[in-house]
Structure 1
């Protein structure tokens, strides 16, 4: 269902899912107008999508990455995971006298969620949040030889069935 071609006969303002009013185009010949209008009303406008994406990006930058989250936990941290009858997993994380609980679809995601929840409950944030990123060390240039590089050997004959030794028949 693509955008129809032809003459635009009306341009009513229609509310999007985000609440913004945007122009919807009525074409003279449009057999999918009802479906296009329904989809138009169910989706957000471009500005609200961009704003939501930026908010999500900023929120994700604050959350510690997987490797960081586990490294920030104290050495005495204990996980307890239980598989429930409905195939979901429940777990607790106890460390330094504080316990957090969570439920997840699998044990790997659950352990990460528990670690992040414990860090958030204790006010521990990602160390890379405010710190500048380390600059990778620059390697020294390779030493230059006084002698030129050796020439490669000449190409050998291409292998073929006639070049291979034949087994002796006995």
Structure 2
């Protein structure tokens, strides 16, 4: 069974980590389907029915994005607002098409893990900062799984570290 990877990156051409992850994922089309929102909808207009049908096809879904300003890129929030509609994703008339699907996040961060802790500059761990995603996916009855986070791109974006992240990400996805 394939895993759907929904990528939201506003500048994928200049990305170090996310671009490299996509390149590697595309080598395994029998395992992963990469769906880049900015590529699919360059005008920002989402085909809601197409996205809902896409979601219905997969039991494992990963939202991959760079984390900045303590959130996801705006286009992912727009996608969530427009695709996870009342009557389709939740509500009394919903068939709960996301029920039991394994959903997680794959996040690249410029900051280090130490900076995202009570003693760090940003005070809160990533699990707390991503709680809205967890609650949203639990609300639509998905099986929200622990996230994959790659920290410290601002400090450690060496070719060796990038390649290390690829192996770690693939291991994470295959264990999902």
Q: TM-score range by the shorter chain?
A: under 0.3
What's the TM-score once normalised by structure 2's chain length? 0.16
User: 1 or 2, which has the higher helix percentage?
Assistant: 2
TM-score (norm 1): 0.17
